[in-house]
Amino acid sequence: MAAITRFSKPSVISHVRRCLYSSSAVAAESNQHAPSPFGDYTITRRNPSERNVQWVFLGSPGVGKGTYASRLSNLLGVPHIATGDLVREELASSGPIAKQLTEIVNQGKLVSDEIIIRLLSKRLKAGEAKGESGFILDGFPRTINQAEILKGVTDIDLVVNLRLPESVLIEKCLGRRICGQCGKNFNVASINVKGQNGCPGISMAPLLPPSSCMSKLVTRSDDTEEVVKERLRIYNDKSQPLEDYYRNQGKLMEFNLPGGIPESWPKLLEALNLDEFDERQSVAA
Ligand SMILES: [Zn+2]
């Protein structure tokens, strides 16, 4: 609840709320006439002033999206919902969707938007029953179609798009190492991009292994420059229309990461108007 008060400052959020009221009213109306494709998992739409944040995190592979989404969800007291985890959890369960999923995965097919949104609705419904308020989504939506389906399920207040220059993403991915013995992840890339043309520089310290792991480091076979570039190209092709979609609704917040977590975290909180909130939390802790 404290977070909500904080968000009511004149900021991107208040603009976001104005957009939200009109879009949710339309969605609520259309829901009355069409049977819900989400079965029993219809989620209650709550007024933004009566709930916590409902945010989406976007970002290229390797940008560290999961890390920031997870930290923010801890700070704000909302669940961090990664759709990859939902699929894995469902596969490990024995529910009706699990059977369908197992077949799809065994046939090497892609999991459909419909199944993902059913899993997500189920997760949100379960959260609602437990008294959860708000969420941060990671890994969904990936396409405009998914965003449109999501709009039929729940309201999104803000979409945070984490960005790093492509050269940095490539360097970061190429620096990834895994210890062949203990399985821990490290990164040997030491990134130091000088600021130019008004763009600030970017520096990221490597995450070096202890000496016991040093001689056992291996590189993932798909962390080659060619593969990483292709991964980024595919991501950009898909995400650009999605970014435009949310930008046109006034919901997209672009955030250029200035470095690793120590440099980026305080700046991200500042951009989200959460810097004072974080200080209060630290004092209370
Ligand atoms: Zn090790």
251 occurs within a structural domain: no
Q: Is the distance from CB of 170 to CB of 235 less than 8 angstroms?
A: no
Q: What is the CATH number of the domain that holds 46?
A: 3.40.50.300
Of the candidates 129, 163, 197, which is a domain's last residue?
163
Q: Is the distance from CB of 119 to CB of 175 less than 8 angstroms?
A: no
- How many angstroms separate the alpha carbon of residue 190 from the centre of ligand 1? 20
pLDDT score, position 40: 62
Rounded to the nearest angstrom, the gap between the alpha carbon of residue 191 and the centroid of all alpha carbons in its chain is: 24
pLDDT score, position 283: 60
- How many angstroms separate the alpha carbon of residue 188 from the centre of ligand 1? 14
- How many angstroms separate the alpha carbon of residue 174 from the centre of ligand 1? 19
Tell whether 184 and 116 lie within a shared domain: no
Rounded distance between C-alpha atoms, residue 202 and residue 115, angstroms: 39
84 occurs within a structural domain: yes
pLDDT along the chain (285 residues), means of 10: 42 39 41 50 81 94 92 95 91 85 86 88 90 92 92 93 94 94 94 83 92 94 91 93 97 94 93 80 60
pLDDT score, position 10: 39
Tell whether 119 and 187 lie within a shared domain: no
Strand partners, 217: 179
Tell whether 78 and 177 lie within a shared domain: no
H runs (alpha helix) in the chain? 2-7, 12-33, 65-76, 83-92, 96-106, 113-129, 144-153, 166-174, 211-214, 225-248, 261-271, 275-284
**Residue 3 corresponds to which tokens in the numbers above?**
């977070």
Structural domain boundaries, residue 177:
168-218
Tell whether 208 and 152 lie within a shared domain: no
Rounded distance between C-alpha atoms, residue 156 and residue 70, angstroms: 18
How many folded domains does the chain comprise?
2
10 occurs within a structural domain: yes
pLDDT score, position 27: 42
pLDDT, tens digit (0-9, with 9 covering 90-100), for 154-177:
999 999 999 999 999 999 999 999
The reported pTM is 0.79
- How many angstroms separate the alpha carbon of residue 213 from the centre of ligand 1? 4
